[in-house]
A and B are shown apart, each in its own frame.
Chain A
Amino acid sequence: MKLQSVIFCLVMIISSFTFAADKPIRVGMVTDVGGVNDQSFNQSAWEGLQKSKKELGIKASYQESKQDADYQSNLETLYDAGNDLIWGIGFKMADAVLKAAKQNPKQKYAIIDYSFGEKTPPNVMGVMFKAEEGAFLAGYIAAKMSKTNTIGFIGGMSVPIIHSFQYGYKAGAKQANKNIVVLEQYSESFTDAAKGKAIANQMISKNADVVFHAAGAVGDGVIEAAKEKNKMAVGVDRDQNYLAPKNVITSSMKRVDNAIFQVVTDLKKGIFKGGTTQNFGLKDGAVDIAPTTEKMIPLALLKDVDALKKKIADGKIKVPADEKAYAVFVKTIK
């Protein structure tokens, strides 16, 4: 017993010394109401922080939000914990992040999926993704794989971020097959899996054999429906193949983890691009299709996709992210 306590004391002393020797950078994140296990961008963000923790030796923590009203107090909890950088995950947190940034002008903040544009405070960095580029590839694959010539898109809400998925996907599908029919519907939710399942079933009954979702946890239901009806599904944000290994042919990945890892790496070097919004795309490895895709689709198609990827990265194909650009894009396809 005595020996134990002596060892304990020693460990305490040593650990406090090492603590003082190199004070690790602390980075915290606040999830939106999806929670940290949302199989989507919150989870991906946390994976990015865990990777940073492993490879960069930072201290990482997260705080989940249960209601919209939690954002402010959660941001403050992480502020009080002495974090060097605080992430707000998701556009829903924009107001809360802005308010916190004004209250604590010396604290660094970053937000995923939102741009404050010209009004970005100097201590805030916006991180946006060219989601349309990943969705474009997914749409291309979906249209090529479809046997019924009909594919589906299920979006969470009619907001610009989801539009970028939607029109990127449609553009990719049209690129593959000009006569493809794309069914579209919004679930008006990012959490209601049952609703996702219902919509997916409806689309399948209307002859769709590939369904793509950009709707957070709603997508769990979409993939479940595809699994039960033995149709194909396209995941979003993360490699969702594990949810239905025989059905999820690809995922339009938004590598929130890579983006976060990049920003934290910069931070460790002392670089923080406050006051700006950074756009991460295919070129930066921040959007992509899932690695499991190669098991799911024919080799010839995979080669096509790789060629497309290169064209997008080189800027030869400009993928549309909204309705207007999409209309222009469709006209250019022969």
Chain B
Amino acid sequence: MKKFLFSFLCVLSGLLFGALILKLSGISPVEAYKVMWNGAFSRPSYIAYIIIRSTPLILTGLSVAFAFRTGLFNIGSEGQFIIGALTAAYFGFIFNFNPWIQIPLVLALSVFISSLYGGLAGFMKARFGVHEVISTIMLNWIALYFSNYMVLSEGFHKVNTETSEFINPSTSITILENWKSSDSGMNWLSNHPFLNEFMRPSLNAGIFFALIAVFIIWLILKKTTFGFKLKAVGISPEAARYAGINVNKKMTQSMMIAGGLSGLAGATHVMGVSKNIAILAAHEGYGFDGIAVSLIGSNSPFGSLTAGFFLGALKYSGQKIQSALEAPSEVISIMIGAIIFFIAIPIIFERPINKVLKIWEKK
């Protein structure tokens, strides 16, 4: 009850603050929120877009949350995402097996390589005491430029574009992709307007992988000794060491799992949505948004799930204010930022609410 009240107040004040910012820039907040609400839920295809958009955020959020439980701040989610996307795009293009082999193989490779990439930061922390915040920020840029280098490499670069070649259709995890554009599929769908709309965006299996990942991470943290040890390291590394836990090893392992999760986000994004990777001028922000997701979700697996959907919906519908009300995207970003800011700091409401509750109980 109390927790619910916190969250509710946080979201409410976030929305109010966002409204203030909209008002200040001369946009009617009521109209804006109406556009956002309709833009998020009024059509089946919007919901599908939100699911697509939320999938990577859930996974990167989970990645940050998991590392955080071991006391590590995984800023490197962005880079691990890029490595996962690159691996999926590359092997999805090079290999061409039966989908039943191809998809698991490419996914496994992406997760494996990005977990090594994440693990590198953990290893450097454990072995040499390099702070993971510093190393992962650096690794983000290394990943970005390495990815750009690979996109432009001969054989992988799609000529006359700034993107890589498309992955083979056997790598695609978009649901019923061929059927959707076939004659029979289009016929069937035109008789089912709801599904027709719902299926129009490239809805993909990534969300299922995300749900499975959330469950597995929850299982690890809640039900295994391994998870218990990780949490012990997170709460107090010294106490954990005294208790006979190999702290260094746990840190590396934790970062490996975190890296794998972010990599999975990148892989599902490539295999389900973009089908190739492009030259990046700057970070796309999937990983950084993951930090916000993790914070909103109070660093728990199921929290990341809900927060991922929340942020995905906010980002998707927030953009719609632009064409509807001519809001500049900076205002939209500030508004979304303000909402996240308030949600991420429930602590400001904790004291006053506790006081109110105490007075209530005395009565």
* Chain A residues in the interface with B (C-beta under 8 A): 28, 33, 35-36, 61-64, 66-70, 72-74, 76-78, 80-81, 92, 102-103, 157, 159-160, 188-192
Picked from A62, A103, A157, A190, the residue with its CB within 8 Å of the CB of B323 is: A62
- Given A61-B326, A70-B319, A160-B160: A76 and B45 within 8 A (CB)? yes
Please name the residue on chain B nearest to A188 by beta carbon: B279
Residues of A within 8 A of B329 (CB): 35-36, 64, 66
Sample (25) of A-B pairs whose CB atoms are under 8 Å apart: A28-B323, A33-B281, A61-B322, A61-B323, A61-B326, A63-B322, A64-B319, A66-B284, A66-B285, A68-B278, A69-B273, A69-B274, A73-B49, A73-B201, A73-B316, A76-B201, A77-B319, A78-B323, A159-B161, A160-B160, A188-B148, A188-B152, A188-B162, A190-B281, A192-B281
* Chain B residues in the interface with A (C-beta under 8 A): 39, 43, 45, 49, 148, 152, 160-163, 181, 200-202, 269, 273-274, 278-279, 281-282, 284-285, 316, 319-320, 322-324, 326, 328-329
A290 CA to B278 CA, complexed, in Å: 33
- Given A72-B201, A188-B152: A77 and B281 within 8 A (CB)? no
Picked from B45, B285, B324, B328, the residue with its CB within 8 Å of the CB of A61 is: B324
Q: Is the CB of B162 within 8 A of A80?
A: no
Residues of A within 8 A of B163 (CB): 68
Q: Is the CB of B162 within 8 A of A159?
A: yes
A274 CA to B186 CA, complexed, in Å: 24
A33 CA to B163 CA, complexed, in Å: 14
Q: Is the CB of A189 within 8 A of B281?
A: yes
Q: Is the CB of A74 within 8 A of B160?
A: no
Q: Is the CB of B43 within 8 A of A80?
A: yes
A160 CA to B202 CA, complexed, in Å: 30
Residues of B within 8 A of A78 (CB): 323
Q: Is the CB of B160 within 8 A of A159?
A: yes
Residues of B within 8 A of A80 (CB): 43
Q: Is the CB of B39 within 8 A of A77?
A: yes
Q: Measured between C-beta atoms, what is the minimum distance from A117 to chain B in Å?
A: 13
A33 CA to B152 CA, complexed, in Å: 19
Please name the residue on chain B nearest to A64 by beta carbon: B329
Q: Is the CB of B162 within 8 A of A63?
A: no
- Given A188-B279, A190-B281: A77 and B326 within 8 A (CB)? no
Q: Is the CB of A77 within 8 A of B160?
A: no
Closest 10 CB pairs of A and B: A191-B281, A61-B323, A63-B323, A189-B281, A64-B329, A157-B162, A192-B281, A67-B284, A159-B160, A73-B49
Residues of B within 8 A of A33 (CB): 281
Please name the residue on chain B nearest to A193 by beta carbon: B281
Residues of A within 8 A of B202 (CB): 72
What 12 new A-B contacts, CB under 8 Å, besides A33-B281, A188-B279, A191-B282?
Answer: A28-B323, A61-B324, A64-B329, A66-B329, A70-B319, A73-B316, A74-B319, A77-B320, A80-B43, A103-B200, A159-B162, A189-B281
Residues of A within 8 A of B273 (CB): 69
Q: Is the CB of B323 within 8 A of A189?
A: no
Q: Is the CB of A63 within 8 A of B281?
A: no
Q: Measured between C-beta atoms, what is the minimum distance from B162 to chain A in Å?
A: 5
Q: Measured between C-beta atoms, what is the minimum distance from B1 to chain A in Å?
A: 38
Residues of A within 8 A of B43 (CB): 80
Q: Is the CB of B274 within 8 A of A68?
A: yes
A222 CA to B148 CA, complexed, in Å: 22
Q: Measured between C-beta atoms, what is the minimum distance from B100 to chain A in Å?
A: 27
A67 CA to B282 CA, complexed, in Å: 10
Q: Measured between C-beta atoms, what is the minimum distance from A155 to chain B in Å?
A: 12
Q: Measured between C-beta atoms, what is the minimum distance from A68 to chain B in Å?
A: 5
Q: Is the CB of A62 within 8 A of B201?
A: no
A81 CA to B316 CA, complexed, in Å: 15
Q: Measured between C-beta atoms, what is the minimum distance from A27 to chain B in Å?
A: 11
Please name the residue on chain A nearest to B284 by beta carbon: A67
A190 CA to B278 CA, complexed, in Å: 12
Residues of A within 8 A of B323 (CB): 28, 61-63, 77-78, 81
Please name the residue on chain B nearest to A76 by beta carbon: B45
A255 CA to B274 CA, complexed, in Å: 31
Q: Is the CB of A189 within 8 A of B201?
A: no
Residues of B within 8 A of A159 (CB): 160-162
Residues of B within 8 A of A190 (CB): 281
Residues of B within 8 A of A70 (CB): 319
Residues of B within 8 A of A188 (CB): 148, 152, 162, 279
Q: Measured between C-beta atoms, what is the minimum distance from A229 to chain B in Å?
A: 24
Residues of B within 8 A of A66 (CB): 284-285, 319, 329
Most buried by B among A33, A61, A69, A81: A69
Q: Is the CB of B279 within 8 A of A189?
A: yes
Please name the residue on chain A nearest to B329 by beta carbon: A64
A35 CA to B281 CA, complexed, in Å: 13
- Given A69-B273, A76-B45, A188-B152: A63 and B319 within 8 A (CB)? yes
Residues of B within 8 A of A73 (CB): 49, 201, 316
Residues of B within 8 A of A68 (CB): 163, 274, 278
A73 CA to B161 CA, complexed, in Å: 21
Q: Measured between C-beta atoms, what is the minimum distance from B146 to chain A in Å?
A: 14
A74 CA to B319 CA, complexed, in Å: 9
Please name the residue on chain A nearest to B323 by beta carbon: A61
